[in-house]
Structure 1
Amino acid sequence: MPLTKAQVRAAILAARAASTPHQRATEAAALTGHLLAWVTPGSTVCAYVPVGTEPGSVQLLDALTDRGVRVLLPVSRQDDDGVPQPLQWGAYRAGTLVRAAFGLREPAPPHLPAEAVGEASAVLVPALAVDRRGTRLGRGAGFYDRTLQWAATTAPLVAIVRDDELVEELPNDPHDVRMTHAATPGLGVLDLRRE
């Protein structure tokens, strides 16, 4: 019997928790190198601030902005009933992140509407796993699935994962937005449309 999303999430979160700070730093540096070589200087990229053991780093954000890339970061909000809303966006400036809900750090206001994702030439998406068909497993709240409808059709949607989190197949639902690419520390940026 195939694993459920909850079972896959639990296994990946346990594996991430078992990783060492040295492993995470090495993987973050490799991801930074791959993504810097891949992102066009002077473009706009939607990215994220990693939380806990998520792949990536603030150093990637700094390196992108040093290359003239406009970096937009997500701002997550819920309505009065606790329903996740489409992500808003804020421009990244080094040293100005503020604490937010869910243990996140985000840009201070002003924030841009969800449709601002359409300005990005690439969207770097946090993921627990992604399969070779582009099915992304997130944490289950649906913030990105509610937002990526506004991404430009030409913008790569890049799931950022560890090497062993690129898998053959994941459970999916009709509302799941497929990723076009994956980036891992050991494999670099992969076009999943060619897999």
Structure 2
Amino acid sequence: MTADPTPQKRALRAELRERRRNLTQTERTEAADGLTAGLVALVERLGVRTLSCYLSTVDEPNTRPFVNWAREQGLRVLFPITRADGLLDWTTATDQDEEVVGLFGMPEAVGELLGPIAINEADLILVPAAAVDSGGMRLGWGRGYYDKTLGSMERCPPVYGVLFDSELLDEVPAERHDQRVDGVVTPARTVEFAARDRHHRRI
């Protein structure tokens, strides 16, 4: 690994983004079914009542069927709202059809803003990722929102990355501020890693 992994990160993100764009609609549908089953099983196993999730873009693993299931079960779902100061705000949207485009062109839920500290109420945090390696290191998309959020939490619940199967890699380039995840959920499987340095809150 070079002293400055930024060029490696940029190249890997571009490769992974292109792979996602080349998936067929059949592959996307099958992936969504498998991912939803894996996320439901994880939530039920952990006894989660409040979780954070995000609204996926067209090219990302589809989180929307899972979000709909969670709402039907009466679970509280926190959605991230990007802020210009680099922090994430949160909302619990009640209208699943209402969305806006966020600061960086990503879909975001519409609802009352709860402030950055609302994430401390979550029993489980589901995060987007370009890739995760075999040690749990997450490669995000370069904005740093989740790294900053996770790194600032005093007592963090379990954090799982949401990926396509091919995006669980042997190693990803990382910098000091990058945050590891406790596991990943892909359409085919759920993988858990060794305990992280973060102080975890039991649920």
Look up the SS of the partner of 1:26 in the other structure.
Answer: helix
Offset at residue 112 of structure 1 (A): 1.4
Matched-pair contact (CA < 8 Å) for 1:42–1:67? no
The RMSD of aligned alpha carbons is: 1.9
Extract structure 1 runs of 4+ deviating beyond 4 A: none
Question: How many pairs align?
Answer: 188
* 1:45-98 residue CA offsets vs partner (Å, 9 max, x unmatched): 10000112111231211111111211111000214xxxxx11111103222323
Match of 2:180 in 1: 178
2:80 alignment counterpart: 74
Residues 101-155 of structure 1: per-residue CA shift (max 9 Å, x gap): 3222222242111111111111000001001111111110101111113546351
Partner deviation per Cα, 1:32-55 (whole Å, 9 max, x = no partner)? 111111104660010000112111
Cα displacement (A) at 1:12:
0.5
Secondary structure at the aligned position of 2:194 is classed as helix
Any conservation in 2 of the 1:121–1:152 contact (CA below 8 Å)?
no
> 1:48 and 2:50 equivalent?
no
Give the counterpart of 1:21 among 17, 20, 25: 25
Q: Is structure 2 residue 9 aligned with structure 1 residue 38?
A: no
Residues 115-194 of structure 1 correspond to what in structure 2 (within 5 A)? 115-151=117-153, 153=155, 155-187=157-189, 189-193=190-194
Is 1:86 paired with 2:87? yes
Residue matched to 1:7: 11
Q: TM-score, normalised by structure 1?
A: 0.89
Which residue of the partner structure matches residue 101 of structure 1? 103
Runs of 5+ consecutive residues of structure 1 not aligned to the other structure: 80-84
Q: Distance in 2 between matches of 1:150 and 1:123?
A: 14
Shift of 1:169: 0.7
Q: How far does residue 183 in structure 1 lie from its aligned partner after superposition?
A: 0.6
CA contact (8 A) 2:183 2:193 kept: yes
Q: Which consecutive residues of structure 2, in runs of 5 or more, have no partner in the other structure?
A: 196-203
